[in-house]
Chain A
C-alpha cells in the first residue's frame, strides 16, 4: 500500500496541518518508507489473539458524583491567546 501526494494532503487535512504541495510531495517517500516498514506486521499470525486493552492488568475505577472542581475561570483562561468577557474567542464560525 503506497500513498501519493493527494493522500498526504488528505491526511494532513484530517490532522489539520497546513502543507504546501511541495511539503506534501516531500512527505510522500518519507511516509511510504515508514508505512512500508510497519506493514511487516501483516505477516504475524494473530488468529485468536485479542488486541491489548490494559497494559498492566487493572480495572477502571469510578469516582463519586460530587462537584470537586470548576469555578477556576481565571486559571482556565489564563493562557488563552484571545479571551473576552469570560469566553475564549476564535475567528467567527459560520454554521
Chain B
C-alpha cells in the first residue's frame, strides 16, 4: 500500500471518496508521523483524538453519501487560531494554559468542511519572527539540513506549518501572513503557500499581531491543494469589520496553467545589487517558464520598494503594541504577582515574564513611534509611505496582470545564525512585505534547489481579489519547475 502521508490534499480527498482508503487510515498515518517527529518540534499541542473523531465522522459520512469538501483530510492548525477547548498560545508563555471558549471563523469553516485537526502548530511568538526562534516552546526545526549538517530554520512565523508539511506530518496547514509569514517559510521548506487579498479570510478568533496586515492563508505542497484549502477558509464574516463581503470563487475549478493573454511584470527594484546569484538565476528560469506558459513578460517599476520594510517595521509594531495590551494577567493567561504588588506592578511583571524578547522589542518600538511628539514623524509618515507603496502596485498593474519575484533573499539559514541581529532577521521579508502592505494576494511556490540542495521559492503577486490569477500563474510555474525534492528523513 502507498504511504498515505505522501498524498496531496486532492489525492486524499479523491482517494478517500473513491474508497481507496478510510479517513481513519489517513489520520492514523499522519498521527504516527507526528508522534515520530518530536525532534522537529512542529506542534505545540497534538490532538490525535480530535483528528480521529473527524476521520470517523468522515468515514460515516462516506457511508451515508454525505461527504463534505474536506472530508477525510486531516490538517494542522497554526497556534494563532483560537480553537475551542484546545489550548491556544500564539507560542507565548503569556497565553500558556489559555483554552478558548470559542472557535476562530477560519478554523470553524475548515471543521465544518469536514477537515480534522491534527494539532496546534508551533510558530514565532505572536507571529513575530522569520525563523521560529521566538517561540516560547522552543524553535521548530526544518526537515531540511544544511550541507554541513547544521539544523536549519523552517522560516517563520508559520514555521511549524511549513516544517510539518515538508516532513509529511500533515498534508496541509493554515498559516497567517503579516509580512511574509506564509510565503517565506514555504520558500524555506520547499512547499507552497498563499496569502489571499486582505479581507478574504476573517480575522475573527485569530490572535492579532498587526490588524491592518494580518491575513490567514493556506500552506500545502501543491498549488491545487492551496486552492482547495483557501476555498474552505475564505468568505465574508460579519464579525470582522474589515472582512470583504464578496462570494468565494471556485478557485480549484478555475485552475488553468494556460497564461496566454496574461502579462507578467518583473519589478526591477527586486533585483538589488548583491542579490544572491542563485536566486537571480531561479528568477530568470521563472521568467522563461511563464513565457513558455504563454505569458508576456514586461519590465515594471515599484519605486518605493526600498521603503517597504521600514514602513512595515513602524506600522506592525505600532498596531502590535496596542493589540497586545490585553495580555495583562487579568482575564486569561499567565499572571505574575510579586509580593505586595499593586495592579500596575502586576501588569509590568506579568508582561515582562510572559512576553519573549522579540515581542517586547516590537512592543517597545510600537509604543515609542506612537508616543507624544513622535507620532507624526514615524506613524503618520509610515502610513503615507504605505499609500505610495500601494500606488506603486496600482501603477504597475496598469501594465501587467501579475508580478513575478523571488520569495526570499536567501535559502533557509541555520538556527541561531541571525538571532543576535534583529535587523538582519527583518531583511528576510524584503520581498514579501510590500504585497502585505498593499493587501495583495501573493503566493510562494518552490522553484528548485540551490547548490547546497536547499529549496528556493518564487513569488507571484496579483491584483486585489485576483487569487485565481495568482494560483494559475503559480500552477504554470509548478508544472514547469517539476519540484519533487524532499528532505531526507533524519528525525
Contacts and interface: CB of A to CB of B under 8 A. Distances in A.
The reply to whether chain A is a binding partner of chain B is: yes
B280 interface: no
B101 A55 contact: no
B111 to A, nearest CB: 19
Given A40-B307, A41-B310, A34 B385 contact: no
Interface string B326-345: 00111111110100011111
The 10 closest A-B pairs by CB, nearest first: A51-B383, A79-B332, A55-B439, A75-B101, A81-B335, A18-B348, A18-B352, A46-B384, A38-B310, A16-B347
Given A31-B368, A91-B337, A51 B384 contact: yes
Contacts, number: 165
A58 B439 CA distance: 12
Interface of A: 1, 3, 7-8, 11-19, 27, 30-31, 33-35, 37-42, 44, 46, 49-52, 54-56, 58, 60-61, 63, 72, 75-76, 78-82, 88, 90-94
Given A37-B310, A46-B385, A56-B197, A17 B390 contact: no
22 contacts: A15-B321, A17-B351, A17-B364, A18-B349, A18-B352, A38-B382, A39-B310, A40-B307, A41-B311, A41-B314, A46-B384, A46-B385, A49-B387, A50-B384, A51-B384, A51-B386, A52-B383, A58-B244, A60-B241, A88-B331, A90-B343, A93-B342
Interface of B: 97-99, 101-102, 197-199, 212-213, 238, 241-242, 244-245, 304, 307, 310-311, 313-314, 321, 325, 328-335, 337, 341-349, 351-352, 355, 360-361, 363-365, 367-369, 371, 374, 377-378, 380-388, 390, 422-423, 438-439, 464-465
A76 to B, nearest CB: 8
Contacts of A76: 101, 331
Given A16-B347, A17-B360, A51-B386, A44 B371 contact: no
Nearest to B355: A17
A41 B325 CA distance: 27
B106 to A, nearest CB: 18
Contacts of A39: 310
Contacts of A52: 212, 383-384, 386-387, 390
A32 B331 CA distance: 34
Given A35-B365, A40-B307, A80-B332, A55 B241 contact: no
A63 B355 CA distance: 35
A42 B244 contact: no
A61 to B, nearest CB: 6
Contacts of A56: 197-199, 244, 439, 464-465
A34 B365 contact: yes
B308 to A, nearest CB: 10
A15 B363 contact: yes
Given A42-B377, A80-B330, A34 B423 contact: yes
Given A15-B367, A17-B364, A34-B365, A93 B381 contact: no
B197 A17 contact: no
Contact of A31 (B325, B331, B332, B364): B364
A34 to B, nearest CB: 6
